[in-house]
Amino acid sequence: MGHGAGYGKVILFGEHFVVFGIPSIVSAIDKATTCTVERWDGEGWYLDDKRPETPGYKKEKLDQQRDSISRVLKAAGVDTARNPIKIKLEGDLVAASGIGASAASCVALARALSKEFNLDFSDEKINEIAFEGEKGYHGVPSGVDNTAATYGGLIWFVKGQPNIIDLLKVKEPVEIIIANTGLVTNTAAAVAGVKERKEKNPEKYDEIFNKARALANEAREALLVFDMENVGEMMDKNHELLQAIEVSCKELDLLVEIARDNGAYGAKMTGGGLGGNIVALTPGEKLQNKVAQAIESEGFEVLKTRIG
């Protein structure tokens, strides 16, 4: 029996823009998906998905998940016609949009396969396999989610040949909250929509994308000198850019507004958008609890965690 795990993630800067080679800053969170792989007497592979979820997420994503699992198996070189397996997914990471649920499951599966079949995959190889799995969910993934799910920590990521992956160090971990709209989203469709609008309005989108590049670079410096007030202000600006490329929605904007009104240093949507989650910067447990309670009182689910 092989076991594996993959971290959840939160994108602090650069979602959507990262697909086009603009830097992104992403942090793993202290929640993970776990996977168990074991041989069985049936045919092919069988999935038992026990992950907690946003209602409807697993059903909505089932076809994408099956495609993803097939891609991971192929990339790992595991032939389930000859070696039938049961795949069981569990863990404390909620299967939801915007927190890297698909990437976490891809990494967890790749690691479990490596253990069960004595493949001795390096983290780099696990990351490559998970990237192939992400194609089942995202069509053209950036690679940032699977990188965070594989390595953990706070990461500066630039998509390219090869990708640039720098681990960033901050003075101490910082409290954040992640709040869930409850809406399940199609990330592949959101990414395709941005691409289509960018092709139709190149001048408008080039200006927005240039601002996103500058913002990511400024945010990196602010994180490294631990200027959290500045980081929060730039998160607010990043949300405005995401609104401008039409990947936010009224539910995300409402959660961002509640977080800011209750003292968050900054707040923005995180992940594919059009639903899913927001992230709010709430240094200190007192502020974290205050913002969390304000959002929960409006009927939304909140995850309290830390970055760095």
Last residue of a domain, one of 151, 168, 185: 168
Residue-wise pLDDT tens digits, 135-156: 999 887 888 899 999 999 999 9
Asked if 91 and 113 sit in the same domain, the reply is yes
Asked if 64 and 143 sit in the same domain, the reply is yes
Where do the DSSP E strands lie in 70-219? 85-91, 154-158, 164-168, 174-180
The lowest-confidence range among 26-40, 180-194, 200-214 is 180-194
Asked if 52 and 164 sit in the same domain, the reply is yes
Asked if 200 and 269 sit in the same domain, the reply is yes
Residue-wise pLDDT tens digits, 231-287: 999 999 999 999 999 999 999 999 999 999 999 999 999 988 999 999 999 999 999
Number of Cβ within a 10 Å radius of residue 298 = 10
Q: How far apart are CA 57 and CA 196, in angstroms?
A: 26
In this predicted structure, the answer to whether residue 161 has a pLDDT above a threshold of 90 is no
Asked if 206 and 139 sit in the same domain, the reply is no
Asked if 266 and 303 sit in the same domain, the reply is yes
Cβ atoms of residues 156 and 25 within 8 Å: yes
- Averaged pLDDT, 215-231: 97
The pLDDT, as a whole number, for residue 241 is 98
Dihedral sign (CA 292, 295, 298, 299):
negative
Cβ atoms of residues 235 and 222 within 8 Å: no
The pLDDT, as a whole number, for residue 43 is 94
Number of Cβ within a 10 Å radius of residue 206 = 11
Number of H helices, E strands in the chain: 10, 10
185 pLDDT tier (thresholds 50, 70, 90): confident
Specify the higher pLDDT residue, 185 or 219.
219
In this predicted structure, the answer to whether residue 107 has a pLDDT above a threshold of 90 is yes
In this predicted structure, the answer to whether residue 79 has a pLDDT above a threshold of 90 is yes
The model carries a pTM of 0.87
- Averaged pLDDT, 113-140: 95
Asked if 31 and 148 sit in the same domain, the reply is yes
* Total tally of structural domains belonging to the chain: 2
In this predicted structure, the answer to whether residue 189 has a pLDDT above a threshold of 90 is no
Asked if 122 and 199 sit in the same domain, the reply is no
96 pLDDT tier (thresholds 50, 70, 90): confident
Q: Which of 100, 96, 77 is nearest to 6 (CA)?
A: 100
Question: In which domain, by residue range, is 21 found?
Answer: 2-168
In this predicted structure, the answer to whether residue 288 has a pLDDT above a threshold of 90 is yes
Residue % of the chain over a pLDDT of 90: 88
The pLDDT, as a whole number, for residue 186 is 83
Q: Which of 13, 7, 68 is nearest to 235 (CA)?
A: 13
Q: pLDDT averaged over the chain? A: 95
Q: How far apart are CA 96 and CA 182, in angstroms?
A: 8
Asked if 102 and 198 sit in the same domain, the reply is no
The pLDDT, as a whole number, for residue 140 is 78
95 pLDDT tier (thresholds 50, 70, 90): very high
DSSP sequence for 230-243: HHHHHHHHHHHHHH
In this predicted structure, the answer to whether residue 97 has a pLDDT above a threshold of 90 is no
Q: Is 181 exposed, middle or buried (0-12, 13-18, 19+ CB in 10 A)?
A: buried
Last residue of a domain, one of 168, 190, 218: 168
Residue 188 DSSP SS3: helix
